[in-house]
Amino acid sequence: PRILVTGGSGFLGGTVVDTLLSRGYLVVTTMRADRPNVSASQLTYAIVKDIAQLDAFDEAVQQNPPLDAVIHTASPFHYRIEDVKRDMLDPAVNGTVGVLQSIRKYAPSVKKVAITSSFAAMYNNVNKPVGSTYSEQDWNPVTWETALDPENAAGQAGYRTSKALAEKAAWEFMEKEKPGFTLTSLNPTLIFGPVAANTASLENLNTSNARFLDFITGKVKDKCPPTGSLFWVDVRDTALAHVLAIEKDEAAGKRYFLCASPFCNVDLVEIIAESFPKYKDLLPKGDALELGRYPGSGPPYKVDHSRSVNELGLKYRTLKESVEDTVKSIEVLLEKS
Ligand code: NDP
């Protein structure tokens, strides 16, 4: 089978491509720019410059031999937002609706589509009581109107709303258009794990792994930052879930919440100190570590990832394995730079 993966230059997209190749698929991946180092006999690439344009994927979905499925991972994930509509909402929402529209118009051979959504599309800080459990039932209550409110338009909030609006728009498209393919959304929490082999340099290090670079280079030695999102999942498990979503018929029409466990930055620091003693003097300790603890006595919410375990058969990696492999992969980038 032949699969299109959008965003193959990214942390998750690159890992999805690797997972598909290792399972024998033929893969086409979209990139914004030429990457001549991307070559393998089962892999080709298509240039898609600006996913904010609704017709951006019209050409890429028309492949010969034709595509069987599409995995859409491309979406901006950073906190450098100047104009939330231009920088976040348009590429996230139009990228998602655009790819679905292009498939419907030009790729009738495609039967299954999986999109990368996020825990951000579930996170409900308006009326979710502390102590309750998150699952696929939960929705971020954001609307276009609240997303454009300057209060929500910067930093993490701007990113989160882009993911929520994109996933909502995808399900609305399915409802309205009833296309000849099924949709599955994958909703990962913060993703850690080895950076994809195609990561060119430290400058391309993705947002969710950036804290590991800060830890091992001593940047936050005097003040551990607060943890932020308190749940994590490994990139390899997340990538496999995307592939299983297009392999398993029962995944059609569903969301899957992908979460390994809760964590706080102190856990990361402790694992790094134990597994890589050479970094001990560069890591925050004592009072400098305080901000990295759980606020209160633990995470304010519980998570239910049972659908991903029972239906996709996902087995989640441990935090120790993920942290060790992440650090090793960043060491390779540090050597290159
Ligand atoms: P990366 O930044 O590594 O990858 C993002 C990908 O999207 C890159 O291929 C990037 O291309 C592409 N992209 C971004 N903006 C545009 C644009 N305007 N036009 C064309 N391509 C664009 O991030 P991740 O791998 O972490 O993110 C992948 C997906 O996973 C996203 O949908 C993200 O929201 C989601 N996600 C990530 C989580 C995490 O913790 N990492 C958690 C939950 C969801 P280029 O390389 O050219 O910049």
Q: Give the model's confidence band at 199: pLDDT under 50 very low, under 70 low, under 90 confident, else very high.
A: confident
The pLDDT, as a whole number, for residue 202 is 87
Ligand 1 atom at shortest distance from the alpha carbon of 116: 32
Distance 66 CA to ligand 1 centre (A): 25
Cα separation, 296 vs 312, in Å, equals 34
pLDDT (average), residues 161-179: 98
Give the per-residue pLDDT at 35. Answer: 66
pLDDT tens, position by position, 91-145: 999 999 999 999 999 999 999 999 999 999 999 878 889 899 999 999 999 999 9
pLDDT > 80? residue 58: yes
Has residue 38 got a pLDDT over 60? no
Ligand 1 centroid distance, CA of 231 (Å): 19
- Tell how far the Cα of 239 is from the centroid of ligand 1, in angstroms: 13
| Global pTM value | 0.97
Sequence spans of domains, the chain: 2-194+232-260+301-316
Q: What is the pLDDT of residues 277-335, one digit of tens each?
A: 999 999 999 999 999 999 888 899 999 999 999 999 999 999 999 999 999 999 999 99
User: Of the residues 47, 75, 163, 206, which should be mutated to test ligand 1's pocket, given the most ligand atoms within 8 Å of the CB?
Assistant: 75
For residue 154, is pLDDT > 90? no
Q: Report the pocket of ligand 1 as residue ranges, CB < 6 Å.
A: 7, 9-13, 32, 50-52, 73-77, 91, 116, 118, 163, 188, 190-191, 206, 208
Counting from 1 in the atom list of ligand 1, the atom nearest the Cα of 31 is 47
Confidence of residue 3 (pLDDT cuts 50, 70, 90): very high
For ligand 1, the distance from its centroid to the CA atom of residue 75, given in whole angstroms, is 4
SS3 string, the chain, reads: CEEEEECCCCHHHHHHHHHHHHCCCEEEEEECCCCCCCCECCEEEEECCCCCCCCCCCCCCCCCCCCCEEEECCCCCCCCCCCHHHHHHHHHHHHHHHHHHHHHHHCCCCCEEEEECCHHHCCCCCCCCCCCEECCCCCCCCCHHHHHCHHHCCHHHHHHHHHHHHHHHHHHHHHHHCCCCEEEEEEECEEECCCCCCCCCHHHCCHHHHHHHHHHCCCCCCCCCCCCCCEEEEHHHHHHHHHHHHHCHHHCCCEEEECCEECCHHHHHHHHHHHCHHHHHHCCCHHHHHHHCCCCCCCCCEECCHHHHHCCCCCCCCHHHHHHHHHHHHHHHHHHC
Catalytic position from the list 49, 105, 111, 163 = 163
pLDDT band at 39 (very low <50, low <70, confident <90, very high): low
The pLDDT value recorded for residue 231 is 96
Fold of 2-194+232-260+301-316: Rossmann fold (3.40.50)
